[in-house]
Amino acid sequence: MKPARFDYIRAVDVAEAHAALAEFGNDARVLAGGQTLMPMLSMRLVRPKAVIDIMHVPTLRGIDAGGSDIRVGAGVRQAELLAWPALGEALPLLKAALPWVGHAQTRSRGTVCGSVAHADPSAEIPLCLLALDASIELSSRRGRRRVKAADFFTGMMTTARAENELIEAVHIPKMQQGAGYAFREFGRRHGDFAIVACAAIVTGTNVRFAVGGVADTPALRDFGAVDGTALADALDAFAWDLDARDDLHATARYRRELVRQMGRAVIEEARRCRG
């Protein structure tokens, strides 16, 4: 379990990172917190020619709440965001979800944007970004663009990032007044990959519900202002549409049932939070 040979490039600014990405393209991997990349390197699941370390780029290290969105830079660790004093006010959904991301030890190294880049179908952060209509800021030597989370996660560990692009930040809309937010998850042990993770945002006119761990990417549905049997029917239809599969830890049937039952519970919790 030792990595194959690779070049280690420590970028000191974004331009260096862009240059290295332009040079190596898909043969490069960006190293941020390393909580996924390092084990994958050791198991030789990834064999990049170059690893570009961006954690020494000062401009990537901040949380910016100045605008209408919260901008979380690529160097921000999950533990930093969780400890950010304004998190509960600004992003209650992430406040609820971040403690479910791995363990305290992995959160102290892992970054918010790293989780977005990896796009694991069970990951909590992509799920929240999708539910919150967040966007991902991508940059390269050629320019800069923002992609909505809904368009970014295109498949299992597959995203809309081009091979020369760096995820510089994510932009997460602040809490809407009058909306309630809730998050629930079930994994076999605390910190395990979610078997089912659910996020709900309830407003006066809509129930928004997002599910991770079931389909290949996080999945979202707006149910409208439904309740009672109509909500149960909507959850049932969504549960079927997610195309759940059997794996070692759970059956497809089990996942569908959790979408229905945990889904209802998380939606009710969000409704109560509107308060």
Partner 1 sequence: MSKAVSVPSAQWCGQSVERVEDAALLTGRGRFIDDLGVKAGTLHAAILRSPHAHARIAAIRVQAARMLPGVAAVLTGAEVTELSASLVVGVKAPIECWPIAVDRVRYVGEPVAVVVASSRYVAEDALDLIEVDYETLPVVVDPVAALDPTAPVLHEGLKSNLASERLFRYGDPEKAFAEAAHRVSVTIRYPRNSCTPMETYGIVAEYDAAEDAYDVLANFMGPFSLHAVMARALKVPGNRFRLRTPPDSGGSFGVKQGVFPYIVLMGVAARATGRPVKWIEDRLEHLTASVSATNRVTTLDAAVDADGCVRALAWDQIEDVGAHIRAPEPATLYRMHGNLTGAYDIRHVSVRNRVVLTNKTPTGLNRGFGGPQVYYALERLMQRIAVELKLDPVEVIRRNLIPSGSFPYRTATGALLDSGDYVHAFETALRDGGFAELRERRTKARAEGRIYGIGLTAVVEPSVSNMGYITTVLSPEERRKAGPKNGAQATATVTLDPLGGVSVHVASVPQGQGHRTVLAQIVADELGLKPSDIRVVAELDTARDAWSIASGNYSSRFAAATGGAAKLAAEKIKAKLARMAASQLNVAADEIEFSGGRVCARGNPDNAIPFARLAATSHWSPGLVPEENQALRETVFWSPPELTPPTKDDEINSSLCHGFIFDFCGVEIDPVIGAVRIDKYITMHDCGRILHPGMVAGQVTGGFAHAVGAALYEEYAYAEDGSFLTGTFADYLVPTAMEVPEPVILHVETPSPFTPLGTKGVGEGNCMSTPVCIANAVADALGIASIDLPLTPAKIAGHIHGAESAPPPTRPAPVGGKGRTLRGAGEAQVNVPPETVWRMLLDPKTLEAIIPGAHGVTKISDTHFRAEVTLSVGPVTGRYKADIKLSDLHEPRAVTLTGVVTGALGNARGAGRVRLTAIETGTKVVYDYDAEIGGKVASIGGRLLDGAAKVVIKQFFAALVRQTGGKAEKRGFFGRLFGKGA
Q: Are strands 180-186 and 196-202 parallel, antiparallel or unpaired?
A: antiparallel
Q: How far is the CB of 84 from partner 1 (least distance, A)?
A: 25
Quick one: 11 or 214, whose CB is closer to partner 1? 214
Alpha helices in 61-207 (DSSP H): 78-83, 87-90, 92-97, 104-107, 112-118, 124-131, 149-152
Q: How far is the CB of 66 from partner 1 (least distance, A)?
A: 33
Quick one: 107 or 256, whose CB is closer to partner 1? 256
On whether the CB atoms of residues 190 and 48 are closer than 8 A, the answer is: no
DSSP 35: T
Q: Cβ contacts of residue 22 below 8 Å, gap of 6+?
A: 140, 141, 164
Can you tell me which residue has the tokens 């990834």? 46
Q: How far is the CB of 159 from partner 1 (least distance, A)?
A: 8
Q: Cβ contacts of residue 158 below 8 Å, gap of 6+?
A: 119
Quick one: 92 or 164, whose CB is closer to partner 1? 164
Quick one: 43 or 83, whose CB is closer to partner 1? 43
Q: Is 139 helix (H, G, I), strand (E, B) or coil?
A: strand
Q: How far is the CB of 183 from partner 1 (least distance, A)?
A: 16
Q: How far is the CB of 244 from partner 1 (least distance, A)?
A: 8
Q: How far is the CB of 198 from partner 1 (least distance, A)?
A: 12
Residues in the chain: 275
Residue 256, both tokens: 């569908």
Quick one: 42 or 59, whose CB is closer to partner 1? 42
Q: How far is the CB of 247 from partner 1 (least distance, A)?
A: 5
Quick one: 7 or 247, whose CB is closer to partner 1? 247
Residue 67, both tokens: 């605008």
Residue 11, both tokens: 């970028």
Quick one: 46 or 179, whose CB is closer to partner 1? 46
Q: For residue 193, give Cα distances in angstroms to 34, 95, 231, 238.
A: 17, 18, 27, 21
Residues near partner 1 (CB under 8 A) are 1-5, 26, 29, 37, 40, 43-47, 118-122, 154-158, 186, 188-190, 192-193, 215-217, 219-221, 236-238, 240-254, 256-258, 261-262, 265
